[in-house]
Amino acid sequence: MSENPVDLPRYARLEIERRWLVDLAELGELDKSRARFIRDKYLRHSHMRLRSINLGNETVYKLGKKYGHTDALSQPVTSIYLSAEEFAVFDGLEGGIVEKWRYPIAEGSLDIYQRAGKRVGIYELEFDTVAAAQNYAPPAFVREELTGKANYRGVDFART
């Protein structure tokens, strides 16, 4: 029997994730050559997110759906890859947009948003099991844990 017994929607996987606010001053200069620029559009009246990821030499397009949390750390999610033409069709729909730079750091990723003239850093890490997430000791550069808190999610940033 799986440690994460959840009835998943068809084609979904369980995303188990924790997130923290980061003290960017403590990190110092980040290696921009490893960063990816991400644009997310949260489609109005849905739980769907349209994403473009600029990898430098190519752009990847995805459509994702988050089904809502099954507990404090996990939620079923589904993603499909799109062509540029398919992306353009969905991009014509109404929605809120948020942009960020994503850096691979420690074992996870650091997302840096520009919010009201200030940079906001959020470190996130996905886990294979809820137990692994619960037992994880975060790096020293993180501050307040944001897991499960509103106002610091991409969809919340897209609304403001």
Residues 23-52 have a mean pLDDT of: 94
* pLDDT above 90 coverage of the chain, percent: 75
Query: What CATH number should be reported for the domain holding residue 69?
Result: 2.40.320.10
Residues 41-70 have a mean pLDDT of: 95
* Per-residue confidence (pLDDT) for residue 127, from 0 to 100: 97
> Could you tell me if residue 99 is inside a domain?
yes
Q: What is the distance between the alpha carbons of residues 64 and 68, in angstroms, rounded to a whole number? A: 12
Phi, psi angles (nearest 5°) of residue 51:
-130, 135
- The CA angle 128-111-49, to the nearest 5 degrees, is 75
Q: What is the distance between the alpha carbons of residues 91 and 51, in angstroms, rounded to a whole number? A: 9
42: left (phi over 0), alpha (psi -120 to 50) or beta: beta
> Could you tell me if residue 3 is inside a domain?
no
Cβ-contact 61, 54 below 8 angstroms: no
> Could you tell me if residue 97 is inside a domain?
yes
